[in-house]
Structure 1
Amino acid sequence: MPLSSSFDFSIPPVGIDGNTKMSPLAIAIVEAENRDSWSWFMEELMNIVGPPRGLTFMSDRQKGLLQTFEDVLEGADHRFCVRHMYENFKKKFKGLQLKIELWNAAKAYDEVEFNKHMQKIKDINGDAYDWLVKVPFYLWARAHFPTTSKCDLVINNMCESWNSVILKAREKPVITILEWIQKHLLRRFKKKKIFYVIIQWIGVP
Structure 2
Amino acid sequence: MQEVMPGVPHRFCAMHLWKNFTKQWKDMELRGVVWQCAKATTPAIFNAHMERLKRKSINAWEYLNKWPKEAWTKAYFNEWCKVDNITNNNCEVFNAKIDKYRGKPILTMLEEIRCYIMRKMGTNKLKLQDRTEKLCPMQQSRLEQQKVESNKWTPIWSGDGDGNRYEVQNWQQKMDVDL
Shorter-chain TM range is 0.5 to 0.7
1:69 equivalent in structure 2: 5
> What one-letter code is carried by the residue in structure 1 that aligns with 2:104?
P
Residues 1:109 and 2:79 aligned together: no
Choose which of 77, 85, 90 in structure 1 pairs with 2:22.
Answer: 90
Unaligned runs of 5+ in 2: 135-179
2:115 equivalent in structure 1: 183
Residues 95/192 of structure 1: CA separation in 2 closer, same or farther (3 Å cut): same
Residues 1:159 and 2:91 aligned together: yes
- 1:195 offset after TM fit, Å? 4.4
Residues 1:123 and 2:58 aligned together: no
TM (normalized to structure 1)? Answer: 0.56
- 1:102 offset after TM fit, Å? 0.6
> What one-letter code is carried by the residue in structure 2 that aligns with 1:173?
K
The residue correspondences of 1:1-205 to structure 2 (distance < 5 A) are 65-70=1-6, 74=7, 76-170=8-102, 172-175=103-106, 176-196=108-128, 198-199=129-130, 203-205=132-134
Alpha-carbon distance between aligned partners in 2 of 1:189 and 1:126, rounded to the nearest angstrom: 48
- 1:66 offset after TM fit, Å? 4.1
What RMSD over aligned residues (CA atoms) do the two structures have, in Å? Answer: 2.3
Could you say which structure has the larger radius of gyration?
Answer: 2
Q: Which has the higher contact order (CA 8 A, sep 6+)?
A: 1
Alpha-carbon distance between aligned partners in 2 of 1:158 and 1:126, rounded to the nearest angstrom: 33
Residue by residue, what CA displacement relative to the aligned partner does 1:34-76 show, whole Å, maximum 9, x if unpaired? xxxxxxxxxxxxxxxxxxxxxxxxxxxxxxx343232xxx3x4
Residues 165/155 of structure 1: CA separation in 2 closer, same or farther (3 Å cut): same
Residue by residue, what CA displacement relative to the aligned partner does 1:139-185 show, whole Å, maximum 9, x if unpaired? 11111123444332211211111122123334x43344334323212
> What one-letter code is carried by the residue in structure 1 that aligns with 2:48?
K
User: What's the % identity of the aligned pairs?
Assistant: 32
Alpha-carbon distance between aligned partners in 2 of 1:163 and 1:94, rounded to the nearest angstrom: 30
Classify the secondary structure of the residue corresponding to 1:78: coil
Unaligned runs of 5+ in 1: 1-64
Residues 149/177 of structure 1: CA separation in 2 closer, same or farther (3 Å cut): closer
> What one-letter code is carried by the residue in structure 1 that aligns with 2:4?
T
> What one-letter code is carried by the residue in structure 1 that aligns with 2:40?
A
Alpha-carbon distance between aligned partners in 2 of 1:179 and 1:124, rounded to the nearest angstrom: 53
